[in-house]
Amino acid sequence: MSRIVVTGGLPLCGELNAPGAKNAALPILAACLLAHHPVRLLGCPKLTDVANMVELLRTLGCSVNWDGDVLNIDSRSAQCHEMPEHLSKALRSSIFLLGPMIGKFKRAVANFPGGCDIGVRPIDLHIAALNALGVSIEESHGSIICEGSNLKGAAIHLDYPSVGATENAIMAAVAAKGETTIQNAAREPEVVHLQEFLCKLGYTVNGAGSSTIYIKGGCTPKTAEHRIMADRIVAGTYLCAAAITAGDITMRGIVPEQLGSIVGKLKECGCEVITESELIRVKGPKRPRELKRVETMPYPGFPTDMQAQIFALCTIADGTSMIVENVFENRFRHASELARMGAESCINGRIAVIRGVKTLTGTRVDAKDLRGGAALVLAGLRAEGETEVCGAEHISRGYEAIETALSSLGAKIRREP
Ligand code: UD1
């Protein structure tokens, strides 16, 4: 257990390079099981979730070594088709290993995954996609037992464009015989990034970024070196820090189009935004205007992973804002913590109405999940006095040394055990 202590009231100014994206790194790490040669992954973020995935790969028999921010992965000797229960429960993304494990070993045993407690998070779409590819799946006492000796290409239609189910289906389909199409696929940039990686390994995948993805089973094995794409959510979070502190922050090394919906909302609340080819600069207003309606949606809609941070911004807006959370059903747990700092909001199911207040007051609050924790840090940057965010280990799942990054922008912030 650790906590982050912030003294608010300082405008944050400066530049940051966006780190590698967790949500890109995790499926790509899983996909390394499908590599026929060693792989070098550059710019891997050092996060708890990544460390857990590395541990999972090692228990399956892969050799995985860090060299600075490069991960060297050799999966040629991997033989184990069972995920250890404690690791698969600790990490929601352990589910991504199902597709690659079935691809490599033709069978897999996993447990129902854990991760942030932000709703029910079922895996029915993953299972339906794997079933369509000829995998038989038995669920017993919390274990998922998959048998995939008849893995074959199929036409898959996802009932919802789930990011994880799309990625899992792609990773199983590359190892199947024949052709697969995935309709109503997730269009997130991280899916495109996975496609690029698999193509580097020698697989045939195209269409990612659109709603239909085409996969031809089979591989012409290649050695791959791949740089993990920049984290659009971490970048968005730090840009929100400029908006909430009346600061001036430049994020470098990003693809600005991937932050289109976030930038749109920052402009709407009165930020000045400058966009160049690989950079976004945000200058925050003295006090942000309210946001009439923010609705989370699959990409390119407003990301659910930025909802808590934009919520924090709305708490000090000059007016009343509304947020509709369409993706996860239990993702407003930051609201009650922000209320302890003086925020005023009312939650009804998936809708939050937030009446902006002039000042927040620092106090002790609990991070209940990853992005909610980041939102509390943002609120602390604006609040009068000292805010203690307990449960900082949630934040470490998605932000590498958030205190170091924010200190470099002028924040008074420290982490305590
Ligand atoms: C990924 C991201 C996560 C982000 C989410 C939505 C990673 C590692 N994580 O999670 O940060 O918040 O996308 O952008 O990339 N669903 C089902 N059945 C399933 C799968 C999903 O009903 O089998 C539902 C979920 O409960 C949720 C919605 O679909 O309501 C979206 O989930 P999904 O897109 O799958 O999110 P993840 O891949 O888990």
Please report which confidence band the pLDDT of residue 117 belongs to, taking 50, 70 and 90 as the band edges.
Answer: low
Ligand 1 mean position, distance from CA 184 (Å): 14
Q: Check residue 5 and give its pLDDT.
A: 98
Mutate to test the pocket of ligand 1, among 163, 302, 369 (most ligand atoms within 8 A of CB): 163
Say how many CA atoms lie within 13 Å of 368 toward its Cβ: 14
43 conformational bin, left if phi > 0, alpha if psi -120 to 50, beta if neither = left
State yes or no: pLDDT of 313 exceeds 90: yes
Distance between the two ends of the chain, CA-based, in angstroms?
6
Residue pair 119/147 in contact by the 8 Å Cβ criterion? no
Q: Is the CB of 126 under 6 A from ligand 1?
A: yes
Instruction: Provide the β-strand partners of residue 275.
Output: 280
Cβ neighbourhood burial of 42 (10 Å; 0-12, 13-18, 19+): middle
For residues 259 and 235, give the distance between their C-alpha atoms in angstroms, rounded to a whole number.
Answer: 8
Q: Check residue 120 and give its pLDDT.
A: 58
Q: Count CB-CB contacts under 10 A for residue 88.
A: 27
Domain with CATH 3.65.10.10 in the chain: 3-18+231-416, 22-227
Over the stretch 124-177, which tens digit does the pLDDT of each residue have? 999 999 999 999 999 888 788 999 999 999 999 999 999 999 999 999 999 999
Residue pair 113/30 in contact by the 8 Å Cβ criterion? no
H/E segment holding residue 81: none
Q: What share of the chain in percent tops pLDDT 70? A: 98
Q: Check residue 415 and give its pLDDT.
A: 97
Residue 253's identity, in one-letter code, is: G
For residues 203 and 215, give the distance between their C-alpha atoms in angstroms, rounded to a whole number.
Answer: 8
Which is catalytic among the residues 44, 62, 116, 271? 116
Q: Which residue has the tokens 């269009």?
A: 187
Q: Whose CA is nearest to atom 17 of ligand 1?
A: 122
Tokens of residue 375, six digits: 């939102």
Q: Check residue 91 and give its pLDDT.
A: 83
Q: Is the CB of 377 under 6 A from ligand 1?
A: no
Q: Check residue 116 and give its pLDDT.
A: 54
Q: Is the CB of 327 under 6 A from ligand 1?
A: yes
Over the stretch 72-82, which tens digit does the pLDDT of each residue have? 999 999 999 99
Q: Check residue 296 and give its pLDDT.
A: 98
Mutate to test the pocket of ligand 1, among 327, 330, 394 (most ligand atoms within 8 A of CB): 327
Instruction: Write down the mean pLDDT value for the chain.
Output: 95
Atom of ligand 1 nearest to the CA of 164: 38
Over the stretch 222-251, which tens digit does the pLDDT of each residue have? 888 999 999 999 999 999 999 999 999 999
For residues 156 and 19, give the distance between their C-alpha atoms in angstroms, rounded to a whole number.
Answer: 34
Q: Is the CB of 121 under 6 A from ligand 1?
A: yes
Nearest to residue 256, comparing CAs of 273, 270, 275?
275
Q: Whose CA is nearest to atom 7 of ligand 1?
A: 23
Q: Check residue 89 and give its pLDDT.
A: 81
- CATH match for 3-18+231-416 among 3.65.10.10, 3.30.565.10, 3.40.50.300, 3.90.1150.10: 3.65.10.10
- The residue count for the chain: 417
Atom of ligand 1 nearest to the CA of 305: 12
Is 116 an active-site residue? Answer: yes
Residue 279's identity, in one-letter code, is: L
Domain 22-227, CATH class in plain words: alpha beta
Q: Check residue 281 and give its pLDDT.
A: 98
Residue 356's identity, in one-letter code, is: G
The model's pTM: 0.96
State yes or no: pLDDT of 279 exceeds 90: yes
Ligand 1 mean position, distance from CA 365 (Å): 27
- All residues at 6 or more sequence positions from 138 whose CB lies less than 8 Å from its CB, including other chains: 144, 145
Q: Check residue 119 and give its pLDDT.
A: 54
Atom of ligand 1 nearest to the CA of 93: 8
